[in-house]
Structure 1
Amino acid sequence: MNYKTQMDAAKKGIITNEMKIVSRKESMDENKLRELVAEGRIAIPANINHKSLSPEGIGEGLRTKINVNLGISGDCPDYTKEMEKADMSIKFGVEAIMDLSNYGKTNTFRKELIKRSPAMIGTVPMYDAIGYLEKDLMDIKASDFLKVVEAHAAEGVDFMTIHAGINKRAVECFKRSKRLTNIVSRGGSLLFAWMEMTGNENPFFEYYDDFLGILREYDVTISLGDALRPGSINDSSDAGQLSELIELGDLTKRAWEKDVQVMVEGPGHMAMNEIAANMTIQKRLCHGAPFYVLGPLVTDIAPGYDHITSAIGGAIAAANGADFLCYVTPAEHLRLPDLSDVKEGIVASKIAAHAADIAKGIPNAREIDNKMSDARRRIDWEEMFSYAIDEDKARAYFESTPPTDRHTCSMCGKMCAMRTTNKILAGEKVEFVTEK
């Protein structure tokens, strides 16, 4: 192999096997795809050690992708339950799974996840540092962070969220902004605390080139984390968020110079009227790199329903240029999500992503909708169920109150509009009293 990363290959004019697979999945010409990978406008996260991976592309002109977060915590340390969530995610066809475990020795779970998952695997090394190193935050050195990143890379992690943009300049801007909700990024808050306690620069920023060297070795895509993302609609588009975004734009170019693929992470909480402008600003400041958003959540008052607030924001974001949606579950802000929460979050995010792909005119995005509509016209229930995002739920709802006439549903019965129109167009009479 005479290249180190997908970007390195693309720059050299080489079409990798991963590019060929993505080209087929996306109906995009191989050479066009290669050019976009070379420019950094598409990333194909594919660690050389992730042997079970089914490669996916993230970025310009491609389907909007979905990520699922899972992982154990001190209050819920059961790896079995997290693997059940991973299996469900794979069943629903999500393209990425992030292991955000923050308790104990997490590599046993992560290695098994990488071994069996066709989806991309992501991590946030900052979360793992304390448990992995068994040190208090203040005692961790820059070299320790490098060790954790290298361990994750060697295991086969495809992309890593690294909060390199929250440097001393960005922190000063954050402090001046007097936010309502301060820092809500877990990794960002830990780095902020480390910087304030030690007086040192963010090690991920200060030793950025060293981290890039590790990522390049294993072809790990860097997902530049937004430590200063807004945690409330009050704080969106403020100086702290945008100052960090400016730093991320510079870090994007530095990564590309090392042939390291990049994604850039975005908000957060944000009112609907600000989302489109934020997508444009991000793409401009970060040179067209793929954009990975959490939500955005469009209101702050819906705990228990934040999969809905997120899906609304995610659909708007993706329709205006975001490439990758991190799911949000009904448990957001409340607890670690259970299996049911994970399912609800996946379905909500898939709805948002697919709706956005239709709006963006992604090739063939409308095809399955047209098939569903044709099956509805013909009142073919089995075919309708097969096209549904959640086939099991659609079938269960239909069967819960079964109609007398299987060519209708229990809501309209024989007054079904499809049935009436089909009969008339077929030259038949529509009669209710006689039929009864």
Structure 2
Amino acid sequence: MNYTTQLDAAKKGIITEEMNVVAAKEDIEVDLLLSKIASGEVVIPANKNHEALSPEGVGAGLRTKINVNLGVSRDCNNVDAELEKAKKAIEMKAESIMDLSSYGKTFEFRNRLIGISTAMIGTVPVYDALGYYDKDLKDITPSEFIKIVERHAQDGVDFMTIHAGINRETAEIFKRNERLLNIVSRGGSLLYTWMELNDKENPFYEYFDDILDICAEYDVTISLGDALRPGCISDSTDACQIKELITLGELAKRAYEKNVQVIIEGPGHMRLNEIEANVLLEKKLCHGAPFYVLGPIVTDIAPGYDHITSAIGGAIAAASGADFLCYVTPAEHLRLPTIEDMKEGIIASKIAAHAADLAKGIRNAEKWDNAMSYARKKLDWDEMFRLAIDPEKAKRYRSESLPHDSETCTMCGNMCAVRNMNRVITGEDVSLL
């Protein structure tokens, strides 16, 4: 039996090669995975032209996945440096990389990235349009925007952020509801500006069916972008954000009808006490589609430390049911991240994702923690380093301050509770001198 996309296959009861791979990674029954894909609760972003891909599932009941953003810009146009970041992200087991390149002819970088990446690749086609056509935003035609989508699909992109929720109707809501920080989404601001300059409907909304046809042909998962996501605590959960979320839910239904897999993108900056309710709203309004959040960043006062503010929000969001975390680095709001910034962002996001998986009871999540606890009980430092989420940093910290007793650390020394309890329980002498 033939099928066009993973969603089409699932609806027809066909188990694909990608489903088998994901089921094995997640240690779940493939029939259960198939049913979740058929319902739209899980997606497997896997473009037919991405040959290097090791597929991952995103959605309900699966491990929380993380995404790493990178790409060239006008001020930092170093393709090789960005590719090195991508290689490091893959080495650190990030499941997804988004190419947010916004300058020049990005075809070469995108294709080199797809060629080496076992991680799924996402893009935001509207970013590419300005450099690709080398003309003012106002002068780009709707058909040219759609051609960029098609080019990315042909190149092998697994999922694309499409800002179709900011249409003329949601734009009017934005105009009537004053915000402290207006529109902070790069794609959202570009399309709002295009609509205002041309007095026309958002082409990604007006020609949404054409985009769905492209996605269905290459099995591109559509990530419905949150153009009106809150960019500061003051704007969170406002009328603009919720109106767009309702629109995204309507667009998701249209995508399902054409067998296109859907992810919904979410906030943004948000108070701690609003996160759980926002996840519930997305799941209700968007038919259980996987929720992909940037952070959420839970306070606006920590430039230089936003990997921490983001990890706090990400852990709460994922524990509440969000499925996919977009990492944030210490450089957020300040500059393009370096490879060291990227590493810190990945570690922070992976900690948040794993903490949430423990809370959600994801299968096998606790095995890792229990193995670490057993290694600590035995004071097996090599095993602790092997199990650490960042072995390099753990080894460096210990080597910088070695204890007199190699079993202990320089924090407690002879008063090490673990060492002394091991000895007293086995009847050994415990000497603190």
TM range (shorter): over 0.9
SS in 2 for 1:366: helix
Which aligned pairs between 1:385-400 and structure 2 lie closer than 5 A? 385-400=385-400
Equivalent position of 1:265 in the other structure: 265
CA distance in 1 between counterparts of 2:432 and 2:211 reads: 73
Alignment correspondent of 1:112: 112
Amino acid at match of 2:163: H
Specify the alignment match of 2:165 in structure 1. Answer: 165
Range moving further from structure 2, 28-37 or 258-267: 28-37
Asked whether 1:32 is paired with 2:32, we answer yes
Query: Aligned with 1:121: secondary structure?
Result: strand
Corresponding residue for residue 187 of structure 1: 187
**CA offsets per residue over residues 233-277 of structure 1, 9 Å max, x none?**
100000000000000000000000000000000000000000000
Q: In terms of mean alpha carbon deviation, does 184-193 or 414-423 score higher?
A: 414-423
Distance 2:118 2:431 in 1: 54
Structure 1 residue aligned with 2:98:
98
Counterpart position of 1:341: 341
Counterpart residue identity of residue 67, structure 2: N
Amino acid at match of 1:212: L
In structure 2, the gaps of 5 or more residues are none
| TM alignment of 1:32-431, pairs within 5 A | 32-431=32-431
How far residue 403 of structure 1 moved from its aligned partner, in angstroms, is: 1.4
User: Under a length normalisation based on structure 1, what TM-score does the superposition of the two structures give?
Assistant: 0.99
Q: SS of the counterpart of 2:310?
A: helix
User: In the TM superposition, what is the alpha-carbon distance from 1:432 to its structure 2 partner?
Assistant: 2.9
Letter in structure 2 aligned against 1:159? F
* Cα deviation, residue 148, structure 1: 0.4
Letter of the 1:347 counterpart = I
Q: Deviations over 1:183-213 (max 9, x none)?
A: 0000000000000000000000000000100
Cα drift, residue 157 of structure 1: 0.2
For 1:105, what is the secondary structure of its paired residue? coil
SS of the aligned residue for 1:94 comes to coil
State the partner residue of 2:7: 7
Residue 71 of structure 1, CA deviation: 0.4
> How many residues are aligned here?
433
Worse-matched range after superposition: 50-59 or 422-431: 422-431
Q: What whole-Å deviation, never above 9, does each CA across 1:348-376 have from its counterpart, x for those lacking one? A: 00000000000000011000000000000
CA distance in 1, matches of 2:265, 2:43: 13
Displacement of 1:425: 1.0
Aligned residue identity for 2:328: V
Give distance in 2, aligned partners of 1:36 and 1:173. Answer: 34
Structure 1 unmatched ranges of 5 or more: none
Amino acid at match of 2:166: I
Letter in 1 for 2:351: I
Identity %: 66
1: CA distance, partners of 2:296 / 2:234: 13
Aligned equivalents of 1:362, 1:175: Cα separation in 2: 42
What code does the residue aligned with 1:405 have? D
CA apart distance, 1:135: 1.5
- Structure 1 runs (4+) greater than 4 angstroms displaced: none
How well do the aligned residues superpose, as a CA RMSD in angstroms? Answer: 0.7
For 1:13 and 1:244, the matched residues in 2 are separated by 33
